Structure 1
Amino acid sequence: MEILIKASQFILSLSLLIVLHELGHFIPAKLFKTKVEKFYLFFDYKFSLFKKKIGETVYGIGWIPLGGYVKIAGMIDESMDTEQLKEEPKPWEFRSKPAWQRLIIMLGGVVVNFILGILIYICLMWGYGEKFLPNDNVKDGVWVQDKLASDLGLQTGDKILSIDGQKPRMFRELTLSFINGNEFSIERNGELLTKKIPTDFISKLIDRKKEAGPFLSVRVPFMIAEIDKKSKNLNVGLLKKDIIIGVNGSPVKYYDEIVKKFKSYKGQTISIDVKRNDEIKTFTVSISDKGKLGAYPVNLKPNQLEKLGYYNLANNNYSFSEAIPVGLNKSWTTLTSYIKQLKKIVNPSTGAYKGLGGFLSIADVFPSTWSWQAFWEITAFLSIMLGFMNLLPIPALDGGHVVFTLWEMITGKKPSDKFLEYAQVIGFVLLLTLLLFANGNDVFRKFFK
């Protein structure tokens, strides 16, 4: 059922993005009286799941869910149909239109993607607002459990002040900031320190197993979920939701402090203080030879930590007019962050290419339970990502056509149809190679790692 929900959200999001992107080409083509022969969601090699001709255009749904297209008369595109080019140009063909009109037609899909992403972010800010843990509110520093964080030079209790000179706003964005960053500053026991982020940090982050947990965490209390049935402390009186606040008379606040103290009392009998609702109770417990209490902790969520008084969450609500600049800023941050990640991917020394994913990775981003907020957040990100990717100056992408058209407008020389045909083939091969690599990564991580 979870797979079905993820797949449903993915297909709905992908379909929406493809249709609106192609509509961005379709509308200006029609405005400039250019013949559009096909408008397709997904690719229709050999046959279609559905098709219907309305006017001069065949509208349809293909069976290969790798994208979609509009087939514009007189244009060399992914269909590689060059038969029309052997004849004299017709007035309704793409190649007969002025360069400025062709440029608008080619930019239409990208423009729609960016506008869609911005509108979704504005509506999300207006409809849902923002609820998050500000990094500034992590007063007692981070919890370092992972060797990767230790290798960076981080210790439990460090306060992360900036990454590449930028002050982190949300705690949940720290990992992404480290991925995009080159150096970071921390405060440790009142001392300010600056450290470098190794070039291969992303590679090591990707190589971590999923079970490793988060790269960085907030410090949390030790709230008991249950007592191990084999533990000597099963019947001492400890209950679920008891919070340990003292060990052998010493006050403690966080799980990491408590675990450290237990290790110093291996094989001993000690007292612990727990908070139960509004009461403080003391129990005598046995610490195992491995320094364990024999109790499992509750995995506390941010809103639970706020109720317990450990952290204050920001809860920002916006009117529609207030949501506009916030949504615009969110869109810009998303775009610039994606560009930084792309730069890391094309640099082999970072190992970021190992994290490149295809359709399985994208589908896996969607939650296993249906959430309209999550759906629109992911769709907004994908829309901006799709817009930027299509702007890349690669033949077979919109950006490639834009480059050739700009060259024509600047120099007055139009590339030959044969050159455009060869460029389209090269671009298509490059994209197919990238597609195979990305989806091959998915298969490797899924079945062999």
Structure 2
Amino acid sequence: MIQVAQILFILSVLVILHEFGHYITAKMFKVRVEKFYLFMDAGFSLVKKKIGETEWGIGWLPLGGYVKLSGMIDESMDTEQMSEEAQPWEFRSKPAWQRLIIMLGGIIVNVILAWLIFTIMYSTVGQKFISTAKIQENGLAFGEVGQKAGFRNGDKILSVDGKHQPSFNRMTLDVLLGDKVEVERNGAKVDVILTDEMKGEIISKEGKEFVGPRFSNTVVDSVVPKSAADVAGLKKGDKIKALNGTAFTYYDEFKERISKHKNDSISLSVLRGTQMVELKAKVDKEGKLGFINKALDKLDYEVNNQLSFGQAVPAAVKESWSLLVYNVKQFKLILRPKTEAYKHVQSPIGIARRLPDTWNWEFIWNFTALFSIGLAFMNLLPIPGLDGGHALFTIVEMITGKKLSDKAAGYVQTFGMIILLTLMALTFGKDIYQLVVDKLL
């Protein structure tokens, strides 16, 4: 329930402020606003109250929201008023440049919101990120797919497409969005070239988890009940020093060696407290014992830059721009069929499941800022039904001097809404199906 509450709060903030951007610019140019709704009121609304000329309400369907402007064909698909003579207070009566500003009002507010949130966060709790330098002090450990792509345990990523990334979370994203990864391997520089097919395999099987820190110790954090580790007598805190009499340094070396002993008996040299203990174990058919290795807390890798308000302002602008660029790159990745990244687009249901199950204001506001930039980018897309589609037709009108007829605009809007609703149905359906499957399993 905490996850649901968080996503509803975030969506409510973003939708209200996005629609307020349209509302305030419409009022600036004396356009009548007939409705202002949080969420969609298809058929009926949960709450509504008319104040002046505007009906304010909350719909039952949490798919965005809208403001209904007089004299405009929008999400409400109300074309009846368009058959009547245009009135001075209507959207269609205003000059093209005013209509363009109204259409971009929501996007502008989303960008300003992200900038404000980042500014406040950086100047209060600080600019926090996981340090690439700290996390790869011992090199990096890669999953099976990462190694298949050409990486090796112990590699240190120097740059992606010639650019060094100090934030580890961003660096893993850069790898999936880039083409050439330069790594340091045994003191030499090596280039790893990722194909679209390989990126697709990483995204579908391991995601950002395809790479992580290389742990220098194999320390038992917890043991799976009735597993081979449990039967062998491994306990929390045990440090595994050798396998079949051969010592190793890194946890990934242990995993690699044990994977070669499927359904086989092995001996483990374990440091328990100050004593060395020898244990016998039977490896399962998957090449595992059944324990979780102790990981360092993310705070061990975190950097916190404490910024003054004056420093936070430009840093927040830079971060907002950077996120917008990342949205463009991710959209391009989705459009490349061989990566199959389009299969992993998520609805609010899928996003909610990734949120923490405890209420954390710092996380919520940072996520709201990130989501706000994503919403701004999505609405910039020149798709009929989105702000970008309306803006595109208005720009064309400003260039050519020819306005799209109301009839044609109605057809375009209908087509756009069909596309958007179809995409929503697919993403929501996929996430609901996955939710049901996970619950059953």
In which range does the TM-score fall when normalised by the shorter chain? 0.7 to 0.9
1:67-121 CA distances to partner (integer Å, 9 max, x unpaired)? 1111110111111111211111111111111111111111111100111111112
What amino acid is the match of 1:319? S
| 1:299 paired to 2:294 | yes
Tell me what 1:372 maps to: 361
Distance 1:89 1:229, change over 3 A: closer
Q: 1:192 to 1:55 in 2, by over 3 A?
A: same
| Aligned 1:48-447 pairs, distance under 5 A | 48-137=45-134, 138-144=136-142, 146-208=143-205, 214-220=209-215, 221-225=217-221, 228-231=229-232, 240-243=236-239, 253-258=249-254, 281-288=274-281, 290=283, 296-303=291-298, 306=300, 313-447=302-436
CA distance in 1, matches of 2:344, 2:314: 32
Deviation at 1:346, TM superposition (A): 1.5
Tell me the distance in 2 between the aligned counterparts of 1:229 and 1:244.
14
- Bigger shift: residues 84-93 or 290-299: 290-299
Cα deviations across residues 117-165 of structure 1 (Å, max 9, x unaligned)? 1111222222222344422231221112x22111111111111111121
- Give the corresponding residue for 2:7: 10
CA offset at residue 251 of structure 1?
7.4
Change (3 A) 1:354 1:283: same
- Structure 2: gaps spanning 5 or more residues: 224-228
| Partner SS state of residue 231, structure 2 | coil
Code of the aligned partner of 1:204: E
List gaps (5 residues or longer) in structure 1.
307-311
- Following superposition, the deviation at residue 407 of structure 1 comes to 1.5
Scaled by the length of structure 1, what TM-score is found? 0.86
**Separation (CA, whole Å) in 2 of partners of 1:206 and 1:214:** 9
Contact kept in structure 2, 1:148 and 1:215, CA below 8 Å: yes
For 1:86 and 1:208, the matched residues in 2 are separated by 54
Moved more, 243-252 or 10-19: 243-252
Q: Give the aligned partner of residue 309 of structure 1.
A: none
SS of residue in 2 equivalent to 1:88: coil
Deviations 1:202-250 (A, max 9, x none): 432343279xx9211111222233574422x56xxxx743545678998
Q: Determine the C-alpha separation between the residues in 1 that align with 2:255 and 2:98.
A: 68
Deviation at 1:376, TM superposition (A): 1.1
CA distance in 1, matches of 2:361, 2:192: 40
Shift of 1:172: 2.8
CA distance in 1, matches of 2:25, 2:302: 46
Counting aligned pairs with the same residue, the percent is 42
Q: What is the SS of the residue equivalent to 1:81?
A: coil
Instruction: Tell me how far 1:26 sits from its aligned partner.
Output: 0.6
Q: Which amino acid aligns with 1:187?
A: E
Whole-angstrom distance in 2 between the partners of 1:269 and 1:298 = 18
Q: Work out whether residues 283 and 289 of structure 2, in 8 Å CA contact, stay in contact via their aligned partners in 1.
A: no
